[in-house]
Structure 1
Amino acid sequence: MTAAVVVAARRTPVGTAGRALGVVTVDRLAAHVLRAVADDIGERAAAPVDDVVLGNCMGPGGNIARVSALAAGLGEEVPGVTVDRQCGSGLAAVVQAAQAVVSGDARLVLAGGAESASTAPIRAHRSLEGAGEPVPYARAPFTPAEFGDPEMGEAAEALAAARHVSRDRQDAYAAASHARALAAQRAGRFDAELVPLTELGADDRPRALRESVLARMPAAFVPGGTVTAGNSCPVSDGAAAVGVVADELREGRPGLRVVAGATVGCDPRLPGWGPVPAVQRVLHQAGAKMDDVAVVEIVEAFAGQVLAVTDALGLDPLGGDAARVCPDGGAIALGHPWGATGAVCVVRLFSRLVRGGAPAGTLGLATAAVGGGMGVAALVEVVR
């Protein structure tokens, strides 16, 4: 059985919704990074692109992966499929691509995710009576009503309370995420992975934040709560993609072998818990322990949710594991284009481990929580 290896990884800068990327549609965001990954692989690819798998949550439909593949100039013979696992969509797309390669159904797949919150369509229910104006709605349900169907901010508040994650720790984590992202920008650690788009050549969100400023921000979702706009991610636009090939086709190119991937369900009322059982499953599948993992990239939707998960996994991102958990900052600092961020985590692992010169055998982990009560995780290993 062959192995699936990520041999190229790129992303657009992440833009705050309504700003620099606000006029770029989701298919154009995706096409931009697909073209860059295809060019990175170039003529060294010993096989044509067999498929394009893209995550997306809020786009117009119409199979964005196929539209993007055509817009990227990959050829009429290259199909595409769009995956919706909400905030885990981009990571789930990479896992699905790896599964296709391992099974032998494909030899080269481009995978990732894209989201344009700025241009996402406004949705409305048709009148069931056949008369009257359509009724706008903010989102589709994550669960049936009897399962609570919480808003993500409210669910993050509930998880932080259930796991006793204090406001002080949440604000400290948010400040650290921004500080790490700013340090990475200054050191050029994002440069090789970025594909500039329109006037945006770098992520526009990271800023210097003091915990004292964050401490003054009011609760955003639950009166008297601990989750604020300052310790949560912003609504964002962006895209990311990777090239996944069969190991025998990489021809000495370094990359990340996908060791294991998993998607699991959890309590729909506490969807932020999903990474815990997902990570536990991939580690069990691989016969590995958390101490074996060099870098963990988790989708930072809310600081309270990240800390609840890392506490459960035995990680201390504000102490001894600061260099392991989102070491260059995460979605709180960079932004969270929902369908893309899971793939951004894989791009970040590629930069930290492959571009960063980690030795063969080094392990990395990407994980995301999913609305509706799910978790997605992937364990990868450096190959040289």
Structure 2
Amino acid sequence: MRTPIGTAGRALRDVTAADLAAPVLAALAGSLDGLLPHDVVLGNCTGPGGDVARVASLAAGLPVAVPALTVDRQCGSGLAAIDVATALVRARPGLVLAGGVESASTAPWRFRPPADGADPVRYTRAPFAPATLGDPDMGVAADQLAAKYGVTRERQDAYSARSHARAAAAWEAGTFGAEVLPVAGLARDERVRAGLTVERLARLRPAFVDGGTVTAGNACGVNDGAAAVAIVDAATHAELGLPGLRVLATATAGVDPQLPGLGLVPAVRAALDEAGLTLDDVDAVELNEAFAGQVLACCDDLGLDEERVCPDGGALALGHPWGASGAVLAVRLFSRLVHQDRGEIGLAGIAVGGGQGVAMVVQACR
């Protein structure tokens, strides 16, 4: 289950990270015949600090005896949290709620301490990697990756327009209905634009690099949202008698920090290898669309037909709430393979600032 994804500063602007995650956790827990989790794991990147997962689980009404853990693997945090939860359930059978949350709207501003009487300086972001190895901003890194792989501006704009068209069509068809829990009066993803054309996108100027190909139109937005899943062992799953997804394999990998968007490629390959599968065996592919040029470069490296990726639209249209996005991929696979019965094997992959990637392979269990 997930919240609608809001655009920072709009419908969810006053909802904290914990308050975004809490209703999703409560709804999941309430759907499992009174089964209580023995842990909660949530990913988060830019929240208020402390243990956001603990605050969210208590706000959800879970018993005080249920512990909670917050995970930060930057944009991969939500999928990493699910990976951690699967390990917890293997070690101790039962239920763990896992996912991710991000409230860019309420993320606190931080300042470096003043020195010698000077004014404090705003601290804009944490480093993704040591400066000596290269620590580009994500937009700059996406432009560099697109250039390296020869992904043209025209191809990026076409991919972005397709993502919006697919997401708009999916909303009109009711595709997202079973997975989205309305929050704070918002019932639909805010960023999706029906009728966004290549011609309109072509008018936008480069956003990060002079003469570059990445624009505000073929890049993700800054967003708020939460997503979570219920992780159980096989015996508990059988007792519940509910359809689900079996986690066949997970993988995390590292790449050059100067090309962080490529991180999902080795993670996807490792996860498929662990599962004993190839891309030809996969029915549903959900890759996080941080930037059109980035996801297209990954497709080219993997030999993956871009038409197979995010058939109901991805982060370019839906939004990219950083700490939640990996969990959104898992929710999307659940909807496609379980709710809609559109295949058996699913693949999720997400790249991470600093040069990492997380991937997961799942199988429908009906």
Match of 2:347 in 1: 365
Q: What are the within-5 Å matches in structure 2 for residues 251-270 of structure 1?
A: 251=239, 252-270=241-259
Q: Identify unmatched segments of 5+ residues in structure 1.
A: 1-9
The secondary structure found in structure 2 opposite 1:339 is helix
* 1:101 and 2:89 are equivalent in the alignment: yes
* 1:53 and 2:53 are equivalent in the alignment: no
Match of 1:65 in 2: 53
1: distance between equivalents of 2:98 and 2:301? 30
* 1:165 and 2:151 are equivalent in the alignment: yes
* 1:330 and 2:314 are equivalent in the alignment: yes
1: distance between equivalents of 2:30 and 2:116? 50
CA contact (8 A) 2:93 2:236 kept: no
Q: What are the within-5 Å matches in structure 2 for residues 1-384 of structure 1?
A: 10-43=1-34, 45=35, 48-102=36-90, 104-127=91-114, 129=115, 131-207=117-193, 208-250=195-237, 251=239, 252-317=241-306, 322=307, 324-358=308-342, 362-384=344-366
Q: Deviations over 1:22-67 (max 9, x none)?
A: 0000000010111111112233x3xx31111000000011100001
1:346 CA drift (Å): 0.4
CA contact (8 A) 1:50 1:106 kept: no
Q: Which of 350-359 and 28-37 deviates more?
A: 350-359
The secondary structure found in structure 1 opposite 2:304 is coil
**Distance verdict in 2 for CA 1:368–1:116, change over 3 Å:** same
**Distance verdict in 2 for CA 1:79–1:145, change over 3 Å:** same
The secondary structure found in structure 2 opposite 1:158 is helix
2: distance between equivalents of 1:22 and 1:91? 24
Q: TM-score, normalised by structure 2?
A: 0.97
Q: TM-score, normalised by structure 1?
A: 0.93
1:96 CA drift (Å): 0.9
Q: Which of 147-156 and 33-42 deviates more?
A: 33-42
The secondary structure found in structure 1 opposite 2:229 is strand
1:285 CA drift (Å): 0.7
Q: Deviations over 1:148-185 (max 9, x none)?
A: 11000000000000011111110000000000000100
2: distance between equivalents of 1:155 and 1:204? 26
Q: Identify unmatched segments of 5+ residues in structure 2.
A: none
1: distance between equivalents of 2:358 and 2:92? 22
The secondary structure found in structure 2 opposite 1:11 is coil
Please tell me the residue identity of whatever aligns with 1:273: L
CA contact (8 A) 1:51 1:106 kept: no
1:131 CA drift (Å): 4.8
2: distance between equivalents of 1:325 and 1:193? 19
2: distance between equivalents of 1:358 and 1:230? 30
Q: Which of 264-273 and 118-127 deviates more?
A: 118-127
Q: Percent identity of the aligned residues?
A: 60
The secondary structure found in structure 2 opposite 1:375 is strand
1: distance between equivalents of 2:250 and 2:262? 17
2: distance between equivalents of 1:332 and 1:11? 17
1:130 CA drift (Å): 7.1
**Distance verdict in 2 for CA 1:124–1:106, change over 3 Å:** farther
1:87 CA drift (Å): 0.7
Please tell me the residue identity of whatever aligns with 2:45: C
1:19 CA drift (Å): 0.5
Runs of 4+ in 1 over 3 A off after TM superposition: 129-133
Please tell me the residue identity of whatever aligns with 1:172: A
1:197 CA drift (Å): 0.8
1: distance between equivalents of 2:92 and 2:73? 22
CA contact (8 A) 2:18 2:52 kept: yes
2: distance between equivalents of 1:130 and 1:242? 50
1:105 CA drift (Å): 2.8
1:264 CA drift (Å): 0.8
Please tell me the residue identity of whatever aligns with 2:220: C
The secondary structure found in structure 2 opposite 1:264 is strand
Aligned residues: 363
The secondary structure found in structure 1 opposite 2:245 is strand
2: distance between equivalents of 1:238 and 1:248? 32
1: distance between equivalents of 2:352 and 2:199? 31
